[in-house]
Amino acid sequence: GLSVKYKTGPGFDENNNSTDLQIRVTVTNVIDKRPLYNVLGIITGSIEPDRYVLVGHHHDTISRGTVEAQAGSVALDHLVAMFGQLLQLGYRPLRTIIFCSWDGGEQGSLGSSAWLQENFQLVSQRAVAYLNIGAMADGNFTLQAVASPLLQKLLYDAARQIQSPDNRYVSLYDLWADRPSSKLKLSDKPDEPKVLYSVGGAGDESNFYYRAGVPIAGIKATFDKEDLPAESYPLYHTAYDSVFAYENFIDPGFNFTKALTQMWGASILNLANSSIIPFQVSRYSEVLNYLIHRDLVPHQAEWGKHGVQIGDLVSAATRFSAAAASFERRPSLENDLYHSLLKQRIYNDQLMAVERVFIDTIALEQRPFVKHVLFGPSITDEASGTPFPVIQDSLHRISQGETTAWDDLMRGIEKITAKILMAAKLLEKSPQL
Amino acid sequence: GLSVKYKTGPGFDENNNSTDLQIRVTVTNVIDKRPLYNVLGIITGSIEPDRYVLVGHHHDTISRGTVEAQAGSVALDHLVAMFGQLLQLGYRPLRTIIFCSWDGGEQGSLGSSAWLQENFQLVSQRAVAYLNIGAMADGNFTLQAVASPLLQKLLYDAARQIQSPDNRYVSLYDLWADRPSSKLKLSDKPDEPKVLYSVGGAGDESNFYYRAGVPIAGIKATFDKEDLPAESYPLYHTAYDSVFAYENFIDPGFNFTKALTQMWGASILNLANSSIIPFQVSRYSEVLNYLIHRDLVPHQAEWGKHGVQIGDLVSAATRFSAAAASFERRPSLENDLYHSLLKQRIYNDQLMAVERVFIDTIALEQRPFVKHVLFGPSITDEASGTPFPVIQDSLHRISQGETTAWDDLMRGIEKITAKILMAAKLLEKSPQL
């Protein structure tokens, strides 16, 4: 904020009652039905036309919306133009790439939501990943990423290929690793760039992640949150989110916008062309074990008094780690994996199954759209994400005095345990049936 | 029944009230927990180890249970022995075969139900089909089959390969086609052997069909239902279901039991070894169109008065037919399908997707285990099947005066329409996304 004294009215008195102030609000909203326009561009893959790399962005804005979302529209247009040029040069990706310019993003991701519903089985069976181009930059200090643990390495690998916009660093990765956007400890690896694994429930990506179990990734340039401790950039959804602000303050020279567009290009190429899909399952098991030990294990003694045990969950996560490690060793041990397209497909099918396993059609009876048992929007703040929403919801209800929620906590833990065991089985070469 | 006068007590009087008869019932049941034992035998496939042909049978019986279910246990043992011998001769199927000897069949298919739940994602993603060996024979007049429309041709092809136990016919198929077990018109093709597409909710196969969307097939030899109009054979679940009865009356010489065991063997080989999975999608669209015109179209005018339209459903089924026809022409047009294991896999993935599309996780809020929108157990008789359970449930409630059920009927029809459109999209070469 600016260093002036803010005046926001007399507010509440010392007893937290409002004063006798009266406010007259004139609402001129009109309820109306309007069509929404999703624009899709498809490049059919040459080898696996039925495997979809989805790249999405909502093009609608509130007011001018340069950060949110015109800069992303420009990036998407550039990516489409680049892949179009490659296509004309005879280059066709192995897998299908689908560029999605969504409408209705500001009305609750309506465009992507309706499209997903209409194509649910196609997406559920065929989507490799969903890359979400949201804001490109709302600052120019460092990068801020959300991703499924499966795609963390994809973002790192892409960032390593791109030149840093700030010449004090060689690559975008170096800048990102050296400048944490906040001091929040998100994972077991403090030296690596931060990636948030749980997104909120508002964005287009949350539909794909939380309803269909498709791994997602999103990244933007942002400001230093230690310096400006704001949840989002101050011009967000105001008339001041303008081209002028973008050019002069947010991303002068469009350096970050350009670098991140290049990074998206590298990520899309990697997902669409690598014979083995670039998912790192061992990262998923590491993150899971870290979160279990950070968020659940400290409560073990207290929960035990209410008959809630987490021993099976901890064992399941250990088994998942072992399965993931063996699975990742296979390409170096099995030469024929490189020579057989079918064997690659079978291996990739296992990779694609991992995220989907964590979808439970009735994960939370009270919140039917939250189906991912490991990550979801928080019960207290829909716009923020939380690990283990199934557990957090029960804890929230327990904190409000609902003693019956202990049973739900137990069932939630059992549900997560079963899902993790299933993830292990799906990676095992000869699963115990 | 026998031609003697039955005496079953004084019963109800002319006003349907009971008389003053008193009955004292002494119940000696003990509620107890017992372990159930499923026995699984797995032959891992050489080319597609992650594609499972499931062959199941419940081995537990009530009382002696020769028809229900010891004869099936003998058949399963023979099949396992045969595939074991082939394995020793160096023969390994292309796909994995899993022989399942279930427990708890008579307690509500508990064994298969628990196993499916524990392995749901593996089955959902990998199972090609579930063949259910129930009773082998409860008579020796003709055959009686239940199957997903996808597997109707599989049964026909197998029956054509097996010698008829009755030498008035060449093949088992000829006998089956010539001797309908009842006059019930089940399909649009009266000259072909009858196959029932909707099974009841009691058997092991119903879990796989209605909860996981895995195509199923079951077949047995049976009596002439025009001659003996009984729902099931009279010794069913009695102490008289004995080896003596089986040898002397049910299947003298075990001729049908042997022929059907051979037929199962042929079916398993076909499913496990055909490079293109032997599913006939055009049969699915034919059956669907037949059932729509038999069960729904006649009500069009009446339903229209309540705002319920079926025009979109009829169009969707037409589009599904067109997609199925094009899809089935592809192998004869695309030579490379025969040369590329990957292209076969992609084609087979589309085949495997068809039945699964018809699963809706909340098809019926009142009956959560019924998830298949085209076939399911009847609301009025759980042991019988019905087409369109989503529609039949609403009609049942309408017939009981629940006027709000008209809305459910409309939503049910919309749900089925969306599913059929999705089935078409999954078969189309470049689906409109």
Q: A342 vs B345: CB contact, 8 Å cut-off?
A: yes
- Chain A residue numbers with beta carbons less than 8 Å from the beta carbon of B418 are 118
| Rounded Cα distance, B79 and A301, in Å | 53
| Rounded Cα distance, B258 and A304, in Å | 57
Per-residue pLDDT tens over the stretch A176-219: 999 987 777 777 888 899 999 999 988 999 999 999 999 999 99
Determine the residue among B53, B100, B101, B342 to mutate to test chain A binding: the one whose Cβ has the most chain A Cβ atoms within 10 Å: B342
- Chain A residue numbers with beta carbons less than 8 Å from the beta carbon of B42 are 433
Residues B268 and B95 sit within 8 Å (Cβ to Cβ): no
Q: Does residue A1 register a pLDDT over 60?
A: no
- Integer CA distances (angstroms), B97 to A330, B93, B268, in order: 24, 8, 8
| Rounded Cα distance, A221 and A230, in Å | 15
Burial of residue A332 (CB within 10 Å: 0-12, 13-18, 19+) is exposed
Contacts of B369 (CB under 8 A, 6+ apart): B201, B210, B211
Q: What is the mean pLDDT of residues B267-282?
A: 98
Radius of gyration (C-alpha) of chain B in whole angstroms: 23
Q: Does residue B14 register a pLDDT over 70?
A: no
Q: Does residue A429 register a pLDDT over 90?
A: no
- Chain B residue numbers with beta carbons less than 8 Å from the beta carbon of A121 are 353, 356-357, 422, 426
pLDDT for B202 equals: 85
**How many beta-carbon pairs below 8 A join chains A and B?**
72
Instruction: Work out the minimum CA distance from B47 to partner chain A, whole angstroms.
Output: 9
More confident residue, A15 or A301: A301
pLDDT for B6 equals: 65
Residues A162 and A265 sit within 8 Å (Cβ to Cβ): no
Residues A195 and A107 sit within 8 Å (Cβ to Cβ): no
**Percent share of chain B, pLDDT over 90:** 82
Name the closest residue on chain B to residue A51, using Cα atoms: B346
Q: B430 vs A44: CB contact, 8 Å cut-off?
A: yes
- Chain B residue numbers with beta carbons less than 8 Å from the beta carbon of A49 are 346
Q: Does residue A116 register a pLDDT over 80?
A: yes
For every residue of B210-225, which 3-state class applies, written as one string?
HHCCCCEEEEEEECCC
Per-residue pLDDT tens over the stretch B328-371: 999 999 988 988 999 999 999 999 999 999 999 877 778 887 89
* DSSP-derived secondary structure letter, B67: I
Per-residue pLDDT tens over the stretch B295-320: 999 999 999 999 999 999 999 999 99
Report chain B's terminal Cα–Cα distance, integer Å.
Answer: 60
Name the closest residue on chain B to residue A100, using Cα atoms: B433
Burial of residue B53 (CB within 10 Å: 0-12, 13-18, 19+) is buried
Closest Cα to residue B246, out of B219, B221, B275, B282?
A: B221
Contacts of A185 (CB under 8 A, 6+ apart): none
Q: B122 vs A425: CB contact, 8 Å cut-off?
A: yes
Instruction: Work out the minimum CA distance from A84 to partner chain B, whole angstroms.
Output: 19
pLDDT for B7 equals: 63
Beta pairing partners, B99:
B41, B55
Closest Cα to residue A292, out of A396, A426, A391, A198?
A: A391
Looking at A9-13, A370-374, B114-118, B156-160, which range is the least confident one? A9-13
Instruction: Work out the minimum CA distance from A24 to partner chain B, whole angstroms.
Output: 41
Contacts of A181 (CB under 8 A, 6+ apart): A141, A142, A143, A144, A194, A222, A223, A224, A225
Per-residue pLDDT tens over the stretch B22-32: 789 999 999 99
- Chain A residue numbers with beta carbons less than 8 Å from the beta carbon of B115 are 433
pLDDT for A2 equals: 62
Buried (b) or exposed (e) across A122-149, using 16+ Cβ within 10 A? Answer: bbbbbbbbbbbbbbbbbbbbbbbbbbbb
pLDDT band per the 50, 70, 90 thresholds, residue A311: very high
Instruction: Work out the minimum CA distance from B432 to partner chain A, whole angstroms.
Output: 10
Beta pairing partners, B132:
B56, B218
pLDDT band per the 50, 70, 90 thresholds, residue B385: very high
Q: Strand A385-387 vs strand A375-377: parallel, antiparallel, or unpaired? A: antiparallel
Q: What is the mean pLDDT of residues B11-33?
A: 79
pLDDT for A72 equals: 97
Strand ranges across the sheet with B39-43 = B39-43, B95-102, B48-58, B127-132, B216-222, B142-147, B195-196
Domains of chain A: 39-273 (3.40.630.10), 281-427 (1.20.930.40)
pLDDT band per the 50, 70, 90 thresholds, residue A18: low
Q: Strand A48-58 vs strand A95-102: parallel, antiparallel, or unpaired? A: parallel
More confident residue, A227 or A343: A343
Which of B342, B362, B433 minimises the CB distance to A98? B433
Helices and strands (H and E) in chain A: how many: 14, 9
Q: Does residue B9 register a pLDDT over 90?
A: no
Q: A121 vs B353: CB contact, 8 Å cut-off?
A: yes
Q: Does residue A45 register a pLDDT over 60?
A: yes
Instruction: Work out the minimum CA distance from B133 to partner chain A, whole angstroms.
Output: 20
- Chain B residue numbers with beta carbons less than 8 Å from the beta carbon of A275 are none
Name the closest residue on chain B to residue A48, using Cα atoms: B346
Q: A346 vs B98: CB contact, 8 Å cut-off?
A: no
| Rounded Cα distance, B373 and A246, in Å | 52
Closest Cα to residue B107, out of B204, B226, B1?
A: B204
| Rounded Cα distance, A129 and A209, in Å | 9
Determine the residue among A125, A340, A350, A360 to mutate to test chain B binding: the one whose Cβ has the most chain B Cβ atoms within 10 Å: A125
- Chain A residue numbers with beta carbons less than 8 Å from the beta carbon of B118 are 418
pLDDT for B11 equals: 65
pLDDT for A6 equals: 65
Residues A134 and A78 sit within 8 Å (Cβ to Cβ): no
